[in-house]
Amino acid sequence: MKYFLLPVIATLLTACASSTTTAPTTLPSHTLMKEGGLYQTSGYGLVQDDSEKSATFNANQSCSMFKKMPVVTKIESKYQGTVGEDVNKTVNMVSGILKSMTGKNYGTTATDKDYKTTLEFRCQ
């Protein structure tokens, strides 16, 4: 009887050892798959640097699903605030000066979606 169980146990162990786990195929909601193995994601921020960091974080998160790193093929940043970019910077500067002098916060025209950066990348 014990000689009969040995091949059965060996077969079961071999089956368990050869089963592979696959990476999830669903991309994060912030990433689009394009043709040619390219992906696209966007990031937003109060300043351009923040939007670029956000987009880079999204690309890293997407490629990490495949245990790979993003290689950027195209990057585009643009200002999309409610007022002109120069007006926004001036209002923020004046508001900062008034706050430092009076201690009061006079507000700003800036939002955390003023800048948008779009990355096109591959995972390698």
When the pLDDT of each residue in the chain is averaged and rounded to a whole number, the result is: 83
Mean pLDDT in residue range 61-82: 95
Are 27 and 40 in contact by the 8 Å Cβ rule? The answer is no
Q: What share of the chain is helix, strand, coil (3-state, %, to 5)?
A: 45, 25, 30
Quote the CA–CA distance of 14 and 117 in Å, as a whole number.
49
Answering whether pTM is above 0.85, one says: no
Give the pLDDT confidence score for residue 52 in this predicted structure: 97
| Digit-coded pLDDT (tens) for 1-58 | 555 544 545 554 455 454 444 445 688 889 999 999 999 999 999 999 999 999 999 9
